Chains A and B, each alone.
Chain A
């Protein structure tokens, strides 16, 4: 069962949108556009592969989650994510 995904956090503004994290994500849980990126909450299992793969260390793992972290949740899977 997927846990609440708030533990995986992509630091806004730091990402280079290179896609390395998407390539290792076994759950197809990362939406990447030209200069937008979001974790798909329903799919993320907090496996942390994206955290390790990120060349720029902009994906963080917070054991307790982070309050106030922006959450990007698509209404329907494989609908374009509403980026905030």
Chain B
């Protein structure tokens, strides 16, 4: 009989991984988190914006990880006209390196162990069954046995593939992203800026998310279908030269965001996927912090229940609960993303014009989406489903 070191091994200490660990440990499981990098929370590969409502489900907002509190968002059309609606419920631009630490502390307080510089290079198999992971921990090979493996290994996830799930993201769904944190600039501290158009990010968008009055995350993402014509870094450099020519560059990062439907399989045997690894990103916004944490929470809870019950079939419950909670919305968002991906500059200019004609109280995200997709009757129902409570 296999002697297990842990009930649950989580691969990856991002928000999804540590949240999974927190809820699995809270459910009574013995949990280990393995992080390949030296630090939890660093390097930051993220625009760092979250809604108040989303983040508050997991942790009380704390000034030490809030760079800016935002109340509005501005949509800037290719012709320069813009609309500035309110952000329902407000939101934050995070300091992820501190935020991720706090999430890891919550996991640790619930009883989970965390090890950094621990790279998982394969699954451990005995008699054809996955019984753990094979890791390089500070350059020492180590096999660790666990009953359930939670793959929270991000966009670059390979654990799922080793377990037999195809997690490859189609290139049309992958957003190829580049971002700089710029300082010595002037930004409105409470406004998230979104720029659209072929000049800044064809089929995607460029963001300017404030971190205080003089600093911002400036980044963009575009589908690999577009990026192969001109990569993200070139669009970013051009925008920054035009808009912030004298800025100081505090960070400069690349990244990939899987803006797909949830991966067809997120449970196989005793392995489950959470967060970016499971493609649990909102396909329209590209936001994956909160949705990944929700995936992580459900995954962690179900993992703990499965350990308690001793019946591996219970793990399937994760897939069901995820789709009931958020997966169904992401399916619709994915359709909306595909509709938006085909917008040209004229369409964006028209959307902005029609949004400006709306009475101020109707200039909400839902209102603008309805206006934007008005000419595509097939989309109206989808938009109604997700934006009408």
Query: Which residues of A does B touch, CB under 8 Å?
Result: 16, 18-26, 28, 31-34, 49, 51-57, 78-80
21 contacts between A and B (CB under 8 A): A18-B254, A19-B154, A19-B155, A19-B255, A20-B155, A20-B177, A23-B157, A23-B169, A23-B256, A23-B258, A24-B171, A26-B168, A28-B161, A28-B162, A33-B119, A34-B36, A34-B37, A51-B228, A52-B228, A53-B256, A79-B122
CA distance A57 to B232 in the complex (A): 9
Task: Name the A residues within 8 Å of B254 (CB-CB).
Answer: 16, 18, 20, 54-56
CA distance A79 to B168 in the complex (A): 21
CA distance A22 to B155 in the complex (A): 8
CB-based A-B contact count at 8 angstroms: 102
The answer to whether B171 touches A20, judged by C-beta atoms less than 8 angstroms apart, is no
Tell me the smallest distance from the CB of B100 to a CB of chain A, in Å.
Answer: 15
Interchain CB contact (< 8 A) of A18 among B224, B253, B258: B253
CA distance A32 to B234 in the complex (A): 24
A74: nearest residue on chain B (CB-CB)? B121
Interchain CB contact (< 8 A) of A80 among B37, B136, B231: B136
Majority DSSP secondary structure for residues of B touching A: mixed
- Whether a CB of chain A sits under 8 angstroms from the CB of B156 is yes
The answer to whether B231 touches A55, judged by C-beta atoms less than 8 angstroms apart, is yes
Task: Name the B residues within 8 Å of A20 (CB-CB).
Answer: 155-156, 174, 176-177, 254-256
Tell me the smallest distance from the CB of A73 to a CB of chain B, in Å.
Answer: 15
The contact string, 1 if C-beta is below 8 Å from chain A, for chain B 118-154, is: 0101100000000000101000010000000000001
Knowing A53-B176, A78-B162, A79-B121, say if A19 contacts B228 (CB, 8 Å): no
A48: nearest residue on chain B (CB-CB)? B228
3 smallest CB-CB distances across A and B, nearest first, come from A20-B256, A19-B156, A52-B228
Interchain CB contact (< 8 A) of B168 among A18, A19, A25: A25
Most A C-beta atoms less than 10 A away, residue of B117, B168, B253 = B168
Count of chain B residues near A, Cβ 8 A: 38
Majority DSSP secondary structure for residues of A touching B: loop
Task: Name the A residues within 8 Å of B176 (CB-CB).
Answer: 20, 52-55
A51: nearest residue on chain B (CB-CB)? B228
> 13 more A-B contacts (CB under 8 A) besides A18-B156, A19-B154, A49-B171?
A16-B254, A19-B255, A20-B155, A24-B174, A24-B256, A28-B162, A34-B37, A52-B171, A53-B227, A54-B176, A56-B231, A57-B231, A78-B134
The answer to whether A80 touches B121, judged by C-beta atoms less than 8 angstroms apart, is yes
The answer to whether B121 touches A78, judged by C-beta atoms less than 8 angstroms apart, is yes
Task: Name the A residues within 8 Å of B234 (CB-CB).
Answer: 57
- Whether a CB of chain A sits under 8 angstroms from the CB of B323 is no
- Whether a CB of chain A sits under 8 angstroms from the CB of B38 is yes
Tell me the smallest distance from the CB of A3 to a CB of chain B, in Å.
Answer: 20
- Whether a CB of chain A sits under 8 angstroms from the CB of B107 is no
CA distance A28 to B121 in the complex (A): 12
